[in-house]
Amino acid sequence: MSGRILEVTGLTQHFKAGRHAVVHAVDGVSFSIRRGETLGLVGESGCGKSSCARSIIRMYDPTDGKIVLDGEDITHMSQKELQPRRRKMQMIFQDPYASLNARMTVRDIIAEPLLAHHVVKTKQEANDYVYPMLERVGLTAEHAGRYAHEFSGGQRQRVGIARALILQPDLVICDEPISALDVSIQAQVVNLLRDYQQERGLAYLFIAHDLSMVRYVSDVVGVMYLGRLVELCAAEEIYKAPLHPYTKGLLSSIPVADPKLARQKESSGIEGDLPSPVDPPPGCRFHTRCPYAKDVCAQQVPPLREVSPGHHAACHLCG
Residues that bind ligand SF4 (CB under 6 A): 244-245, 284, 286-287, 290, 292-293, 297, 302, 315-317
Rounded Cα distance between 308 and 319, Å, is 8
Helix ranges restricted to H, 65-142:
79-82, 106-116, 123-136
CB count, 10 Å around CB of 31? 19
Smallest gap from Cβ 27 to ligand SF4, in A, equals 15
Smallest gap from Cβ 138 to ligand SF4, in A, equals 42
Where in the chain does DSSP place strands (E)? Answer: 4-17, 21-34, 38-42, 64-69, 72-73, 89-92, 171-175, 203-208, 220-225, 228-234, 305-308, 311-313
**CA distances in angstroms from 150 to 100, 147, 201, listed in the order given:** 12, 6, 32
Closer of 58 and 244 to ligand SF4 (Cβ) = 244
Closer of 217 and 297 to ligand SF4 (Cβ) = 297
For residues 222, 179, 157, 186, the Cα torsion angle rounded to the nearest 10 degrees is: 90
Rounded Cα distance between 218 and 236, Å, is 9
Rounded Cα distance between 208 and 45, Å, is 9
Closer of 200 and 305 to ligand SF4 (Cβ) = 305
Closer of 190 and 313 to ligand SF4 (Cβ) = 313
Helix ranges restricted to H, 28-71:
49-56
Closer of 160 and 222 to ligand SF4 (Cβ) = 222
295's torsion region: left (phi>0), alpha (psi -120 to 50) or beta? Answer: alpha
Closer of 222 and 302 to ligand SF4 (Cβ) = 302
Closer of 154 and 227 to ligand SF4 (Cβ) = 227
Smallest gap from Cβ 304 to ligand SF4, in A, equals 11
Rounded Cα distance between 258 and 262, Å, is 6
